[in-house]
Amino acid sequence: MSELQSYRIEVIGHEWAIDLLQRQVQHGRTPQSLLLTGPFNVGKATLARYFAQYLTCQADDSRPCGVCRSCRKVVTGSHPDVRILDEDEQGLKIEQIRDLQRELSLSPVEGRHRVAVLANFERATASAANALLKTLEEPAAPVVIILTAPDPGSLLPTIVSRCQIVTLRPVPLEQVETALQQRWQASPEQAALLAQLSAGRLGWAVRGLTDESFLERRARWLTDLQDLLRMHRAERLAYAQVLSRDSAALKEALTFWLTIWRDLLLLASGSQTRIVNLDYREALQGLAGQSSAGQAAEVVGRLQTALLNLDKNVNARLNLEVVLLKLPMYG
């Protein structure tokens, strides 16, 4: 592996977005406030880091070069002009935004710009979001702020209105499959299954590949769902009480169940569209024989709402209970 490949942040499947942003910079129209939206794990944070590397690269052309001091510092997280805030489940706090504002008020130390990447900004507290608004309203000339969120509706309209929005689409499954084999050394069988399950979200597929217990948990979530469909109300409430205590497991279960019910909707409606969970086709056909398309569509809608609620401080247990109590009951 060459040094260029080692330090150049690689974006897979969003070449059109890279081309758009690079052409804007080359024509003197660098966006000062950028909002990257799209499904979870589709590559928003990776593109944000790539753009930060591009803006601060010291090369005259072929940016980001991946070999200059600046490119290496962005990758190692030590660049003085690049601040990356990714709090994942915790959410950004107002104190972090105020610290960031003080940094952004200073001139760049090494590069052309100061760049701030605020990933998963939909999880920021209301006070943090309002504090950032002032910076977006009166940005300093050499400052570029990049936000990521699943969709514009998850942020304050006043923030969205001050950002250029770039919406990332799912990566073609063939491209995900190829990347898993060539870059992450997945077997052809692993790559094919994870690409299909990912629905075009490369980051999700990579997590599934590198997490050794992922496929075991996935099998457990299917078994749990099959059991839930046979449970009565009290048993479902007891299950919700236990699962809702683990936020990561809750999100994983809801996400997987959503793919299952989408597959059931396809099978129940007689669609020729390829299902996601191909390795569970036999079990799904059995469930589809007991479901109607309308019933499956209703469950899909509730699961989508439940996943969105996870980022809105809705009570986790009540959120899950609504889904489970409205599941159909099969014998």
Same domain membership, residue 142 and residue 282: no
Q: What are phi and psi of 185, to 5 degrees?
A: 55, 35
Instruction: Tell me whether residue 224 is in a domain.
Output: yes
212 — pLDDT class (breaks 50, 70, 90): confident
The pLDDT of residue 3 is 43
pLDDT tens digits along 218-272: 999 999 999 999 999 999 999 999 999 999 999 999 999 999 999 999 999 999 9
Task: Tell whether 177 is covered by a domain.
Answer: no
Question: 10 Å Cβ neighbour count for 233?
Answer: 11
Domain assignment of residue 203, yes or no: no
Residues 161 and 216 in one domain: no
**Same domain membership, residue 15 and residue 147:** yes
Number of domains in the chain: 2
In a shared domain, residues 232 and 320: yes
Which of 167, 191, 225 is where one domain is finished?
A: 167
Task: Give the range of the structural domain holding residue 160, as residue numbers without chain letter.
Answer: 3-167
189: in domain = no
Beta strands in the chain (DSSP E): 33-37, 82-85, 114-118, 143-149, 164-167
What percentage of residues in the chain have a pLDDT greater than 70? 97
Say if residues 58 and 69 touch (Cβ distance below 8 Å).
Answer: yes
Q: Are 166 and 20 in contact (CB under 8 A)?
A: yes
Q: What is the pLDDT of residues 21-58, one digit of tens each?
A: 999 999 999 999 999 999 889 999 999 999 999 999 99
The two structure tokens encoding residue 173: 């499954």
Q: Is there a domain that residue 206 lies in?
A: no
pLDDT at 69: 93
pLDDT of residue 9: 94
Q: Do 124 and 260 fall within a single domain?
A: no
Statement to judge: residues 11 and 156 lie in one domain:
yes
331 inside domain: no
Strand partners, 118: 85, 147
Q: What is the pLDDT of residue 138?
A: 85
Is 197 among the domain residues?
A: no
Compute φ and ψ for 144, nearest 5 degrees: -125, 125
86 and 152 housed in the same domain: yes
How much is the pLDDT for 6?
65
Residue where a domain stops, chosen among 109, 138, 167: 167
Claim to verify: residue 155 and residue 222 sit in the same structural domain: no
Whether residues 294 and 156 share a domain: the answer is no
Least confident of 72-76, 87-91, 279-283, 301-305: 87-91
Residue 88: the pLDDT is 60
Residues 6+ apart with CB under 8 A from 230: 329, 330, 331
The reported pLDDT for the residue numbered 18 is 97
Query: Is 186 a domain residue?
Result: no
pLDDT, residue 308, reads: 86
Residue 181, pLDDT > 60, answer yes
CATH of the domain at 75: 3.40.50.300
Residues 163 and 224 in one domain: no
Q: Do 163 and 275 have their domain in common? A: no
Note whether 161 and 19 are same-domain residues: yes
Q: What is the pLDDT of residues 106-158, one digit of tens each?
A: 999 988 899 999 999 998 989 999 999 988 988 887 999 999 999 999 899 99
